[in-house]
Amino acid sequence: MVGNLAFVLLSAILVNNFLLSRFLGICPFLGISKQVETAFGMGMAVTFVMAMASAITYLVQMLLVQLHLEYLQTLTFILVIAALVQLVEVVLKKVSPGLYKALGVYLPLITTNCAVLGVTLINMTENYDFITSVVNGIGGALGFTLIIVTFAAIRERQATNKVYKSFEGFPLALVTAGLLSLAFMGFNGFNLKALLGL
């Protein structure tokens, strides 16, 4: 059981990284990766929302199956996520105004981060149980945080370099992300199951 959970967690972080191999959450990845600090804050907020969303949508899906309303999956999931992000915003504003201020405009934008809706849909297609869904959500989000922080550190270095004019901004960021993704492809040959003794 624990081994299986560790397998789901590690493969969500390293092997099937949301950003680099599943292409989920590229918009915030390119938009909010100019500074390590904001990238980290974003990563943490996304981690909380993804873990909560995985748990709640699991329960919502059970309800939908009971009522034979499976075709409403997409619609209810996105509404759950939007409500959750709103809730996080309200609670954070009350409990920790400092963090709330630091995250600023990035907080409401989590609703349209496709990694959040993506992880809930992946949980459903993979038929994960409740605990595994939550672990997959946390793993996916930690992988997201790892990459966005690494990438921000690379971009901080690049900012001071002289770049060919047509490569300024997005093109350079995309090619850099490609090289980073190439490095992470190495984890594909990594036998996680043997490592965890499964």
Partner 1 sequence: MSIKNDLTNGIARENPIFRLVLGTCPTLATSLSVSNGIGMGLAATVVLVGSNAIISALRNVIPDKVRIPAYIVVIAAFVTIVDKLMAAFVPSLHSVLGIFIPLIVVNCIILARAESFASKNPVINSMADGLGMGMGFTLSLVLMSTIREILGTGKLLVAKDFGFAGFKLFNEAFAAKIMISPPGGFITFGLLMALINYISQRREARANGR
Per-residue binding letters, 9-48, with partner 1 (x by CB under 8 A): -----------xxxxxxxx--x------------------
**162 in contact with partner 1 (CB under 8 A):** no
Q: How many residues does the chain have?
A: 198
Alpha carbon of residue 81 to chain centroid:
13
The CA distances from residue 17 to 6, 35, 173, 194, in Å, are 15, 21, 18, 20
CA–CA distance, 18 with 76 (Å, rounded to integer): 22
**Residue 44: closest CA among 132, 186, 141:** 141
> Measured at the alpha carbon of residue 56, what is the angle toward residues 51 and 57, in degrees to the nearest 5?
100
**181 in contact with partner 1 (CB under 8 A):** yes
Considering only 158, 167, 193, 195, the residue that binds partner 1 (CB under 8 A) is 167
- In this chain, which stretch among 5-13, 93-101, 146-154, 160-168 interacts with partner 1, using CB under 8 A? 160-168
Query: Per the structure block, which two tokens stand in for 90?
Result: 């309200």
Per-residue binding letters, 117-156, with partner 1 (x by CB under 8 A): xx--xx--x-------------------------------
Q: Whose structure tokens read 């939007």?
A: 82
Considering only 91, 175, 195, 198, the residue that binds partner 1 (CB under 8 A) is 175
List of residues contacting partner 1 (CB under 8 A): 20-27, 30, 71-75, 78-79, 82, 111-114, 117-118, 121-122, 125, 164-168, 170-175, 177-179, 181-182, 185
